[in-house]
């Protein structure tokens, strides 16, 4: 699967987002090492701290299905400019794959980062 295809799956997942409070829908598509893809979208809640980001939604779904090794994640949001994962999402991804690529939508293009670029000093307790 190439980056464009992965980003397209993230855009499709964005269509399922539940974002009545922020109005900011986000989708993510997580590529596992074996080629399996899991998608996720943000799910907001009136108790803001209970909201779930698209990236953590995709990672949690993959982990629940028994997957632990990831190559890349694509993130798509509405609007202009690049959308980056929040710190919590970066740390969750770091738990499973310190070397994964993070593909962020930027209008009709995308930017590609290593997880280490976005979270150079991630917490590691193992």
3-118 topology per CATH: Cytidine Deaminase; domain 2 (3.40.140)
Q: How far apart are the first and last CA of the chain?
A: 31
- Digit-coded pLDDT (tens) for 34-61: 999 999 999 999 999 999 999 999 999 9
**pTM of the predicted model as reported, rounded to 2 decimal places:** 0.94
- Report percent pLDDT > 70 for the chain: 98
The residues annotated with a catalytic role in the active site are 55
Q: List alpha helices for 1-126, DSSP H.
A: 3-14, 54-64, 87-96, 115-118
- Helix 54-64 / helix 87-96 crossing angle, nearest 10 deg: 20
């Amino acid at each position: 699967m190439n980056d464009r295809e992965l980003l397209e799956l993230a855009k499709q997942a964005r269509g399922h987002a539940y974002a009545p409070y922020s109005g900011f829908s986000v989708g993510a598509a997580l590529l596992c090492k074996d080629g399996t893809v899991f998608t996720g979208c943000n799910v907001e809640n009136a108790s803001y701290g209970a909201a779930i980001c698209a990236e953590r939604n995709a990672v949690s779904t993959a982990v629940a299905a028994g997957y632990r090794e990831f190559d890349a994640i694509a993130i798509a949001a509405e609007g202009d400019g690049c959308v980056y994962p929040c710190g919590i999402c970066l740390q969750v991804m770091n738990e499973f794959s310190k070397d994964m690529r993070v593909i962020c939508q930027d209008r009709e293009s995308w930017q590609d980062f290593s997880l280490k670029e976005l979270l150079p000093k991630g917490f590691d307790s193992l």
